[in-house]
Amino acid sequence: MSTGKKITGTVLGAAIAGVLAGSAALVPFTDDARATDAGRRSDVVLGESKDAIPSRTASDWVSYGDQAAVVHVASEHEGVADSEEITAGEGYLSRTVDLQVKERVWSRSGAAALPDTLSIIADGWEFKDEGKLRVSSQDASRMEVGHDYLVSFAHFSDGEWSTLGTGAVLPYDNSEVGQGEYQGSTVTASAYRSTMASRLVTGVAEPLTYQAAGKTAAGVKSLLTSATPDATAAQNYSLDAVARARLVAKAAAAAAAAADTFCRVAAPLATDADSRYTPGELADVMADLAGMSEASDSTILRAYAAQLRAGDDSGWITGTVRKSAATRIARACTIDVGDLLPNDTGDTE
């Protein structure tokens, strides 16, 4: 990539959509984002878009999306730069695209009906010295006139429709995901899938861009109907995608805080902590941990606490309850708790 000075005042069209509909955050570009890789056009400026709503996986689509459809980009409209940018001779031009719905692929139960035609904000242009370059989000389609896309749409509380995020616009020329426009260039489905495969991360859920590559709309529908939505999002389908995403993030933060507290309490149980516990003391710790656990784990931990308090030595040593409790604590906190047996008889010298 070439390196140059920072381009001021340039933002993604998707980011502007985020200002209006809450779906993304403003992100500036730099000259070194200009596409020069093989298969990319040199008249496209690539930049990172920070979506406020997750759109990467099939689960994201069914958690936050309201409709998925195949659309055709019929036309585009250029926005007007602000006065400061005009005076400076450089800046960003927004772009609105007119879409025709060709096929309805998936609909969330209770979601608003998707209109037959709609207009949304998409990535626009950078202009400078009376010339302009197309702007595109990295790892996303720009939505060019004449091309088809399979898109996840969100319906916002103000009545507006927008794409769910940068991971929710799939090239779909000739009824095949991956065939068509991507980052401002025309790609084949096989090349698209290869690109997505190269970005897979072990242990991280596969993105829908990879799972859907080479499939028809029917194949994508199957992926969506078999996907499991986030539980918090599903409980709040009456809210729009932005509100759902905020609640999910809040729940995740609370869960992370709870897990951190759980592991702080469990830390002295690690074999390398060399802590000493009488049966009663260990029972108290088990009871504390049970109060911080989900139902299934809580039942096991409380059962072991009861055995300890009852003085059931044989149960401690041979019972499966103790072993299950040890496994759950070790797994949750990635620590070695050994046999998780009382190791202090209470005797003094």
> Amino acid letter at 43?
D
Q: What is the pLDDT along the chain (349 residues), one digit of tens a residue?
A: 222 222 222 233 333 333 333 333 323 333 333 333 333 456 899 887 778 899 999 999 999 999 999 999 999 999 988 888 777 888 899 999 999 999 999 999 999 999 999 999 999 999 887 788 999 988 899 999 999 999 999 999 999 999 999 999 999 999 999 999 999 999 999 999 999 999 999 989 999 999 999 999 999 999 999 999 999 999 999 999 999 999 999 999 998 998 999 999 999 999 998 899 999 999 999 999 999 888 888 999 999 999 898 886 766 666 788 999 999 999 989 999 998 988 876 544 4
Element (H, E) at 29: strand 29-30
Closest CA to 142 of 40, 37, 1, 56: 40
89 burial via Cβ count (<10 Å: 0-12, 13-18, 19+): exposed
Torsion (CA) 160, 144, 101, 172 in degrees, nearest 10 = -120
Q: Is the pTM of the predicted complex or chain greater than 0.85?
A: no
Q: What angle do CA 35, 173, 146 make, to 5 degrees?
A: 75
Within 13 Å and on the Cβ side, how many CA atoms surround 107? 9
